[in-house]
Amino acid sequence: MTTRSKEPAVAAQPAAEACAEPTGSVVLRLDALGFDFRAVDFPTRFIEFCEANDDYDMEVNEAGELVILPMVGFRGNRREHYLNVFMGNWEMANGGVSASQTSRFRLASGAIRGPDAAWITQERYDAATEEERETVFPGAPDFVVEIRSRTDNLAPLQRKMQLWMDGGARLGWLIDPPNRRVYVYRAGQPEPEALEDPETLDGEEVLPGFSFGVRQYIFDMQ
């Protein structure tokens, strides 16, 4: 997938003792296969690999493991679709760049993760290289959303949300349909705020004026 670089693209960090992934994921250690996930050219090679195997949804965790994710199912895809429609409409009116579940972001650990929905400022997008815009975007999104699917345990998603926030995200939503609950993560806030069966969610100062009907489009979806 990639060659080893003489200089790593990011600082080496200890592998996580246990990177919990969604139930049903297939996890493969990249170093055992001779791949350096911190190499400068790895994001480009990773996207090429994903495009050659587009039946699968893949990420790389901070332990240097390739994670082949289970499918979210038809209803899960609809939930993601509705959220991204609202995000796209807000972007068209207000600016910045929104991203869907097929996008990937590279964190400082070297991990390459994908959100269910995300948004970055226009300034960050303009500062990115052409290669980064085409493949994997550097850093966490400014705004990020994860939606718990039928295959997801809550704890791995909470951990993933914290990784997004530690990576520089300013606002995040973890939407938990089975429990009709939303966890709102904010930069500088040590713990997320838990909202019980909210009707709508607000983009706050990160996405001013953005509102999403989480009850109608996710919790009550048939």
CA distance 104 to 141: 10
**3-state secondary structure (DSSP) of residue 194:** strand
CATH topology classification for 73-219? tt1808, chain A (3.90.1570)
The domains of the chain are located at 73-219
Tens-level pLDDT at each residue, the chain (222 residues): 433 333 333 333 333 344 667 777 888 888 887 788 988 888 888 888 888 887 778 888 888 898 887 777 788 788 999 999 999 999 999 999 999 888 999 999 899 999 999 999 999 999 999 999 999 999 999 999 999 987 788 998 999 999 999 999 999 999 999 999 999 999 999 999 999 999 999 999 999 999 999 999 999 998
Structure tokens at 192: 């997320």
DSSP codes joined into one string, 6-47: SS-SS---PPPS-----TT-EEEETGGGT--TTSTTHHHHHH
Residue partners of 93: CB distance under 8 A and separation at least 6:
none
- Stated pTM of the model: 0.82
Residue partners of 2: CB distance under 8 A and separation at least 6:
35, 36, 37, 39, 41, 42, 45, 46
Q: Are 111 and 16 in contact (CB under 8 A)?
A: no
